Structures are given as C-alpha cells and as structure tokens.
Amino acid sequence: MFRYLKKTNKPSKSLDPVSFDMNKTIYINVSKGYHMSLKNFQEHSLVMRMILESIKKKFLLKTANTSNPMKYNVIFLVGIFMIGMISFGQEKETLETERVVIVKTYTPTISDAFKVKSTPVLNDSVTQQKKEIKYSIFSAPVASTFTPAKGRAANIDRPKPIDIYDNYATLGFGSFTSVLAEFYSNFQINRSDNIGLYLHHNSSQGGIDKIQLEDKFYNTFLDANYTSRTRDYTYGIEIGAEHQLYNWYGVPELPKLTQEQIDEIDPQQSYFGAKLGGKLQFDDLYFKQVSVNYRYFSDALKSIEHHIVAKPTFEFEIGDNLITTNFIADYLNGSFKQNLGTLPNEYNILNVGVNPSLVVLRDNLTLSLGAAVYYSIDIKNKNSDLFIYPKITASYRLLDETVIAYGGVEGGLQQNTYRDAVQENPFVSPTLIIRPTSKLYDAYIGLKGKLGDVVSYNFRGSYGFEDRKQLFVHNPMTILQSKGYEYGNSFSYRYDDINTMTGYGELNFEISKKITLGATAAYFKYTTEKEKEAWNLPEIKASTLVNYQINTQWYAGAQFFYIGERKEINNQVTITTTSVPVITLDSYFDANAHLGYRLNDQLSFFVKGNNLIGKNYQRWVNYPVQGIQVLGGVTYKFDY
C-alpha cells in the first residue's frame, strides 16, 4: 500500500482532502504530510479498498473530535465518489504486463471416462411402428463450367515397321549336287477369302563314299488351300500332291555280292501321294467344328493305300464348366502287290471312337476329366475289339507363371499307315503288316514355368504301356532275289507289347532380343514282352538350338543333335529259334549351322552346313549318311 503513498516535501497549502496539480494528478490527503496519487492508484483495486478503509477510520476519528462533523462528512463522501469514478474507469483501461511466479509445478491428471456398458431399454407405453418411406430420385442435369485441360502425349521414338510380304521364293545349291527350292504365295481375294500356295523341293544326286548302289533322293510336295471367313462360320479346303524318290542302297557286307549281282539290282523306289480335305468351324453353335480328310498313297511297286478320317466336335458350357465331345471315324484300306509268300497282303480297318471331356477351371487349377472309347473292326480278317482309354489332365499354378505343376493319364488308339512308315523310314519294303497300336495309358507328371522373361523350363517323367507297338527291323536277304529290296537292304514292321519309362527335360533361354538358346534331353527305358530288344529305339535323345541376330542385316544359328545307341537284328548271322543275334548301332552327333545376310527387306542370302562333324554315321543299319554338306542360296520376298 505504501508504494501508492508519497510524502510531501513541504506542507500542503490547503487542508482540502482532495487536490489537483498541473499533471492532472489527483491527490487525496490522507494524513498530515502524506497524499495519494490517483494516477498510481489505478494500478490495483485491492489497494483502493484498503485506502478507503483507512480514510474511513480517519474521518470517523476526525468527526468524533471536531465540533463540525458535516464538513468532514461531505469531504469523505466527495472522496468516496471520486475514487469510485476512478475505479470505474479503471476497468476500461488496458492492464500492464505483470510477472507471474509459479511456485508449484502443474501436474495434469486425466479422469476416468464413463462408458455405457449396456444399451438402455426404452419402456414406453406407446410404441409406434416405423412407417415405410417411398421415394424416388429426380435426376436433373447440372451444368458444369469446369473444363479440364487437354493433356498432350509424350513423343516416343517408334521403330521402323517391318515390311511383311505375302510371297517369297528360295533357291539354293550345294554339295552332293543338292538343290533346295521353295515357293510360297498368298492371294487375298477379298477381305474374307484368300488362297495359299506352297511348293517345296529338296534333292541330292548322292555320292556317299563306299556305296556301290545309287543313293540319290528327291522329296517334292505341293499344297494349296482356300479359306473363307464369315460372321458365323469359317471354312477351308486343302489339296496337295507329293512325290518322293529313294534308293535301297544299304546292301550288307555279308554275304558278299559279286559285281554282276550288284549291277542287276534296281534299288529305286518312288512314292506318290495326294490329299484332299476340308474344315468347317462355327462360332456360336454347339456343333463347334468338323473336319474331313482323304489321303491317297502309292509306290512304284503298285502298293496302294486310301485313308479317310472324319472328326466332328461338339462343345457346350454348363455353368463355369466346358464339356467337349470329339467323335472320330477312321477308315483305312490298302494292299501290297508284293505278297508275303503265297498270301495276299491286304488290310481293311475301321475305327470308330468318341471322346467326351469336362474342363473345370478353379482359380489356379485347370482340370480335364474325360475318356475315350474306340471300337476297332478288322474287316479283312473279321475281327473286332473294344478299347477304353483314360483322358485325364490337370495343371495347378503353384506360383503364377513361375511354377506350374501338371500331370495326367492319357491313352488312345493310333492307326498305323504305310505312308507314316515311309515318312519315318523311307527304306521300308512294300510288304508291311499294317495294324493299329493301342496305347493303353501314359501316366506323367511334371513341372514347367518361366523364370522372369529370360528362362522357361519343362521337366516331365512318365510311364506308359503300348499294345502292339510297331518296331522297325532289318529284313534278311531272300533266297531268290528279284526285287531291289530283297538283298537284305530293307526294313519291315514287328509288333510287341512295350512298357516305356521316360524322363524329359527342356530349357529355353531368351538372353536378349538377339540371342535365343534352347536345349532338350530325353531318356527312355524299354521293357519288351516278346522281342529281345526294342529294335531301333534309342535310349537317349538330345538337341540344342541357338539363334543369334548379329545386327539388322546379319543373322546366324546352329543346331546340335545327339542320338544314343540302338539295337538291331544282325541278319548276317544265322538266326535260330533259341537266340537272336543283336548288332549295336553306334550313337552319333550331328551339327548343323546357317548364316544369313539381308541385303534389304526383300533380298537375302544364306549358307547352310549339315553334318559338320563329317562322320558317316548310320541312322539305319547299313545306311550311312552323307558327310559334310554345304548349301548356299538366295531368298526373295515380294508382293504382286
């Protein structure tokens, strides 16, 4: 309180309790020699109350000791009024900043929250049922003034498009007087129809070392097709012709033939063929497609074969599942004019079959459940058989496209033909016994997938059983030789029941857009029932393929093949009823390569090399192949 009271240096000139000075300061005379400055007094209201109490006591004392108390009462009231006015004005002025000293540290606390643990039940005597509200939304267009800014696509460097031509011609010449010729042409009649034409010719005039007979060969075929596409269906027609010429030049060393006997041999054999087929495919019908093919095949020794195959297919969906039913009618008729002894060699076989299957797709699982039923009729011999085969396959994606597990059990009836035998071994005799082969089952399991964009793989193991599987065997020399194939230089069929265990592996590498590499390997283990060996079937097969695009003009590639040892009947040794002499054909390795140069988009040149190892290995007993073969040529692409 005393900081608001000031002692005057000189006595007050007036005894008035309230006085003013030039600085507009109000002084209240509290006692003799002391006054209070109201300019300082405004700083605190508590001090005012204390001063008022002090003034009151002093005035009461004065009034009690004086004879004129009214004078002091008026002065007291005036002082009270002035102080009240000043106190009232104090609330409107801005307080000055004060310093606050905190004695105790503030410790905040959080009180527990009250949580309702049960839902209250409303016990109301009147319960009203909620009325159903029906409403509709009235859509009204709203004008938008927002106009998005148009984006601009970034510019990219597009590679120059490769020109694709509908036609090309290839012509090449090489060692052993070999000729390679190819011609392909596609005629686009209109937007839906087109005609294709393909001609292929490959020949060599022979010249294998230490071969006494002619060894030249021709292989020529011509195919033409017509295709038409409409909105609801597509159909096509195919027609073709072929001519092949080979020589039975594989005469055994024993018994040794004289030069006169060799000169009398006519080893040449020619094959002729023709085909006619058609296919009709529907887009939105249960009757999905049907194909009919007819093939005619004959040779220079008056062997004739007719083969007709018809395959209609029905397909429809049940829920998320697909049901497919394939029908097949396979008719084969043929005859060999070269009789086996005194019996005519003719065959007339009809196979009719049905193959229903149900395809189930469930996330990563693809399952195909089916079976095949065949009824085979040997019309010539008046025999018939009924065959039932499993057709079950499954695949499961263990890790997207990286790891896919698959497996299955499949079987089927395979109709062997004279033409199929010639395509596999052109040195067969025109005295074959033609029968169908029944593959009772082939159970397999494997893993396949892709490791990124570089590596793809496929590994599989299988075990199967075949009834009456055809095997090529070497024919012995006949007692009387009148035909070119009767000198122990031809092959025929033998049938046996064989169990086959197979291990297969495949790896493909796409190292870059310029380099690709592929390798396959297979191991076979055969168990025969009647025959001593699985004749001419190798235990190991392997191959490697490399392609390298050097630049836009140069390209190269190579192929490597390995075939393991094979077993064959040794007809140079007398065969008895208790033992069959066996000869082992050595394994062989074949390396092929090619190099090409593109002069422009239309003209390119190439060089091919076959059997670059140079070894005259034997694919069939007594039939060595040509040594190193080199062929060069040119390819021209064009449009009409």
Residues 6+ apart with CB under 8 A from 413: 351, 353, 372, 374, 376, 387, 389, 436, 437, 438, 439
Which residues of the chain have a pLDDT value below 50? 1-27, 30-44, 72, 74, 86-93
What distance in Å separates the CA atoms of residue 585 and residue 28, rounded to the nearest whole number? 142
Structure tokens at 182: 């190819």
Instruction: Answer positive or negative: Cα dihedral of 597, 599, 602, 605.
Output: negative
**What phi and psi values does residue 49 have, to the nearest 5 degrees?**
-65, -40
The span from the first CA to the last CA of the chain, in angstroms, equals 122
Query: Which letter, b or e, does each residue of 265-279 get, where b requires 16 or more Cβ atoms within 10 Å of its Cβ?
Result: bebebebebebebeb
Which pLDDT score is estimated for 344? Answer: 74
H-state helical runs in 91-230: none
Over residues 264-299, the pLDDT tens digits come to 999 999 999 999 999 999 988 889 999 999 999 999
What distance in Å separates the CA atoms of residue 76 and residue 51, rounded to the nearest whole number? 12
**What phi and psi values does residue 81 have, to the nearest 5 degrees?**
-65, -45
Structure tokens at 52: 């008022």
Domain boundaries, the chain: 2-90, 170-285
Instruction: Answer positive or negative: Cα dihedral of 210, 212, 216, 217.
Output: negative
